[in-house]
Structure 1
Amino acid sequence: MRIIIVGFGNLGRGICRAFIGKADFFKKAYGLIPKVVAVADECGAAVDENGLDLPRLLKTAESHGTVAKYPGGRRGKLALDLIEEVSADLVFELTPTNIKTGEPGLTHIKRAMQSGKHVITSNKGPLVVAFKELDSMARKQGVEFRYSASVGGAVPVIGLAKKLLCGNEILEIRGVLNGTTNYILSRMSAEGVPQEMIIQEAQELGLAEKDPTLDIDGIDTACKITILANSVLGIDAKLSDVKVTGIRRVTPDATRLAQEAGQTIKLVGTARRDLLEVSPKLVPQGHPLAVSGTLNAVTFKLDLAGEISITGFGAGPKETSSSLLGDLIDVHRTLGG
């Protein structure tokens, strides 16, 4: 399968490392031979119709900060040009999230679909801004569209819901979907440390952004709830439909009182057909959603199966590569590979 990668930060590099390390496995298990023929970052692009040398590409990007320094690379070459000009089967759209406009990922995805290329993305922005439009466009153009990595990182939330639980009606989805806030709340509960101190330490460890607003104020979780509402529940939801309360007002005293009552405080996103909400909730200790550290967890309430929960790591290039590769194999199988 001929592949274009748009965005070559941690995720783009992570997927290439996975291609290198698991090449034999893909071929033996699935008959799949991924061939990366073009990569674009914010500075330029690297193209080789015969397939890029991935170890060399990674070394170039890490040494020079751009793939444009790869032999024959093109500084200033736009991702949109690559999508239109390079012969490929599938585009990985892995650029940073923009929840206001969805750009530039939204245009990248549309252009890929219009040119007959399948799309896999981790980018929440286009999905929050224009999910129904993109889903409809994929069907109209006859291309596959996958986005498992946009929710839960390595946790196969969307795949579980849409495939393995398809005999059930999903009545409700509740989840701890942001590793940063879960790390902060876990530390507050265990140590009674003020939130501001933990945030600073999380930033130093790389677990929180320099501006952690989207995490702490619940916006990141709200984006994921919006995606789940659209993709799993079939609701035409917008981010503005989600009632959001973050964790800024949660204090060490609150976590202590919760603990004394056999509870723990978690930032929980909830999606039902009559409710979209993100807010701190009391969760009983021992409940599947009472995960600690940077773990994510999701519980599905089902008409036949009752409740089913899944837990795992929700962030990191290696972990997210798991979902990206799962989507690639799913597309390969769907196409008859």
Structure 2
Amino acid sequence: MKVLGIISSLTDPASRARVLQYIRPLSKEKIFIKPRFFIPDPYADPDPWAYKLKKFTGINEYRFLSAQRIIKRLPLFWEQLKYDLIWQNRLILFKSSFFEKKLQKTTAFDFDDALWVYDGEKQVSEAISASQIVFAGNEYLADFAKKSNNNVFIIPSTIDTDHLFPKKKDTNYFTIGWIGSSFNFQFLEMIRPAVEFLLSTNKDVRFMAVSSAPPPQFIFNNDRMIFKQWSAEEESNLINEFSVGLMPLAENDFTKGKCSYKMLQYMACGVPVIVSPVGMNVKILSQREVGLSAITNEDWIAALQKLKNDAGFYRACQINGPLLIEEDYSVKKYAPVIANLLRKTTK
């Protein structure tokens, strides 16, 4: 089976977690995925030429950007003919279901965020309705999808355990760690006071942030406040430097759809977690003893202190994390499930 995998980019977390990491295991099932992504991305600014054209035509530069996005996606109409199925992660065109309604091939719509909050409920519902099968990352997302499609399956975000796994830690520091995209910088203010308190009261504590750019909430000095550039190649080594992994989230309609990918990454590396009790985080915490939840600043401080000082609890979380990943959140478990569903959909 030949599958066209429509994704946001090769480095986008959702693209990697939902589609790209299945390329190798699904090839063993004789399902071959060709990734396809589009530039500019949904949040790009118009090109300089668009501003120049505006001076002569009076047409808003963002209209040129919209036209550019559509033109870049038009080849999909003949590219699709080479494939048996389209597996798309999110909408093909930002805030539009135009392409989903026009494509002729069997489509699997896959999503791990509450896309309708930013893309529009009507647009996302239309894309889901036009698909033959839907993969939703959790129950909250599945409930939304079932309003428009009867063929909905919960496929949680999973971990490639050949890529992320526990490694020996060579440091005397208790390293408070966070990994994430710049979109999630907004949540770091929730943990900043607790992190600063732990650093001020414990000389053996340090903080490490891993992202594409330094989070503005912190001042990094490469001593006990460390920033490291994310890369796919170094991701496993970087997470394994953490003693504890944090996942702060505000609670709103968008974050309720979060599929806990950051939390799962920590767990796969044997790193105990402290997370906001939002979205799928609550379910995962209830399955095994892998860490703690926190809401207030006092909660974050208490949770950090417990994991730092309670060796027995810490060790239990270290052991349970990778076990739960293997049991319920691994690529190895879900690759055969996805392969079976894709085959049934194309029959």
**TM-score when scaled to structure 2?**
0.42
Higher RCO (CA 8 Å, separation ≥ 6 residues): 1
Structure of larger gyration radius = 2
TM-score, normalising length from structure 1? 0.43
